[in-house]
Amino acid sequence: MEEKKIVARKLQGFWELQPEQQVIFENMLDKIKDVFKRHCFLPLDTPVMELSEILLAKSGGDIDKEIYRFVKGSTDACLRYDLTVPLARFVAMNQNTISFPFKRFQIGKAYRGERPQKGRFREFYQCDADIIGDGELSLVNDAECVKLYVDIFKELALPVQVEISSRKVLYGLVSGLNEEDKFANIATALDKIDKIGESGVCELLQQLEIEQSKIKVLVDFVKINGNAQALENAQKLCSDSAFLDGVSQLKEIDGYLKAMGLGEEDYKFNFAIIRGHNYYTGTVFEAYLKNNRSAGAIGGGGRYDDLAGYFTDRKLPGVGMSIGMSRLFEILQQTSQQVSNFCKCAIIPLGETLQQCLALAGYLQQNLVAAEVYAENKSFKSKMKEANKRNVPFVVIIGADEVKEGKYTLKDMTTSQQQTLSKEEILNILG
């Protein structure tokens, strides 16, 4: 009886790229990591699984329902749903040995058992960079997080503009209106203005039983955006001390950004940027592709007062930024300049020259040129088609005559031009 074959399939919502796509993804990661390192962030790689009591400490709501949780013997553990809680646990465990401010970046997979849909997966990559202080943290670090976006996306040839606001400013405005007990609900409503429009936000605020005159102040506030003049315009709205302090902090950040060489094309102030997470306590920001804001934010972050409050009494304020890797990858796949193959040179033997081909490949690889030998028993024509299919930029052809002369035929697959060169001359072109 013939054995029944298992149908090859994978779990729904879990990422798996084709090799050509993976090359683009790895290239993207390398460029992002290089920028983090230039800014002196240290890499961190925390376990993909944490004890449930750790991972569930700061969750709640829908997140609890989406967590992958496992019990093995006496161990109750979960797959991480983000990189922030593992960071908090790491800092709490190592607070007496790490140096503050602690600057770390991490790019890794996280897991949420939500319904898969376009741009949302059950297994996905997160890319975070955070700066953690001990007791206090300079606003220079908020500015540096903004600059990270500009530098990273410039490296990826995708210029962005970062939009900046402050939840402290919003809280001061709400407090000045004597509605601070409704702050969380007001922030949630105002955060939806891009999705449901001004009228929809007004309706939500009316449901909170807020007076019409106050609603007008709130809506007018989130409509303020622009350069430094936007801060001057906002400052006239309220005399609350927290509000004025928040505006003053944004002015300070504006000065740091200018000192870092950023201009008005790189960032602006937009008080509609609120960020839905209530753990943000100060500066908040989101990054958008220039001239394509409708594509949605491709990154966001902000300042939080107490990173590890569930694990230690030590006050550890921080500021961090995150990049939406799935959305970014979709955009990069659509750009023609992305490399989809590591191989720079395919070496094709003609006749009995395989050993010489292997020797040349070893020579090029030793000198940091990605090269491979097409050693399969196929026709020369089929091997050339394969090199073309894989977008290999150069092909070296080695036959008996080339071996005798010690020179090889190098073909540029883009221009179709051929040259007969020594291995040193080939390295000079490819290296």
Give pLDDT tens digits for 303-324: 998 888 889 999 999 999 999 8
Place of tokens 């969750």: 59
Model confidence pLDDT, tens digit, residues 339-384: 567 899 999 999 999 999 999 999 999 999 999 999 999 999 999 9
**How many Cβ atoms are within 10 Å of 82's Cβ, its own excluded?**
17
User: Are 187 and 100 members of one domain?
Assistant: yes
Q: How confident is the model at residue 397 (pLDDT cuts 50, 70, 90)?
A: very high
Q: How confident is the model at residue 154 (pLDDT cuts 50, 70, 90)?
A: very high
Model confidence pLDDT, tens digit, residues 239-278: 889 899 999 999 999 999 999 999 989 999 999 898 866 6
User: Are 375 and 353 members of one domain?
Assistant: yes
Query: Among 287, 305, 333, where does a domain finish?
Result: 333
Give me the CATH number covering residue 395. 3.40.50.800
Coil, helix or strand for 250?
helix
User: Are 181 and 52 members of one domain?
Assistant: yes
pLDDT at position 206 over 60: yes
Q: What's the pLDDT at 38?
A: 97
pLDDT at position 184 over 90: no
Residue 268 lies in a domain: yes
Q: What's the pLDDT at 335?
A: 67
Coil, helix or strand for 172?
helix
The dihedral of CA 384, 388, 391, 396: what is its sign?
A: positive
Query: Which long-range contacts (C-beta less than 8 Å, at least 24 apart) are formed by 384-387?
Result: 384/348, 386/346, 387/346, 387/348, 387/413
User: Are 326 and 359 members of one domain?
Assistant: no
- Of all residues in the chain, what percent carry a pLDDT higher than 90? 58
Model confidence pLDDT, tens digit, residues 64-103: 778 899 999 999 999 999 999 999 999 999 999 999 999 9
Q: How confident is the model at residue 166 (pLDDT cuts 50, 70, 90)?
A: very high
User: Are 82 and 112 members of one domain?
Assistant: yes
The set of residues, in sequence order, having a beta carbon less than 8 Å from that of 50 and lying 6+ positions away, is 77, 78, 80, 85, 86, 89
Q: What's the pLDDT at 107?
A: 96
Q: What's the pLDDT at 183?
A: 85
pLDDT at position 227 over 60: yes
The pLDDT mean for the chain works out to 90
User: Are 235 and 380 members of one domain?
Assistant: no
Q: What's the pLDDT at 308?
A: 87
Q: What's the pLDDT at 63?
A: 62
- Of all residues in the chain, what percent carry a pLDDT higher than 70? 96
Residue 1 lies in a domain: no
pLDDT at position 2 over 80: no
pLDDT at position 1 over 70: no
User: Are 317 and 354 members of one domain?
Assistant: no
User: Are 167 and 304 members of one domain?
Assistant: yes
Residue 338 lies in a domain: no
Residue 6 lies in a domain: no
Query: Among 333, 360, 386, where does a domain finish?
Result: 333
Residue 263 lies in a domain: yes
End-to-end Cα distance, the chain: 57
Q: How many domains does the chain have?
A: 2
User: Are 395 and 280 members of one domain?
Assistant: no
Cis peptide before 159 (omega within 30 of 0): no
Q: What's the pLDDT at 277?
A: 66
Q: How confident is the model at residue 55 (pLDDT cuts 50, 70, 90)?
A: confident
pLDDT at position 198 over 90: no
Question: Could you tell me which of 307, 239, 234 has the C-alpha nearest to residue 273?
Answer: 234
Q: What's the pLDDT at 356?
A: 95
Q: What's the pLDDT at 119?
A: 67
User: Are 309 and 372 members of one domain?
Assistant: no
User: Are 262 and 365 members of one domain?
Assistant: no
Residue 14 lies in a domain: no
CA distance 52 to 76: 6
Tokens representing residue 152 in the block: 């990273």
User: Are 327 and 366 members of one domain?
Assistant: no
Q: What's the pLDDT at 395?
A: 96
Q: Could you tell me the residue range of the domain that residue 218 belongs to?
A: 19-333
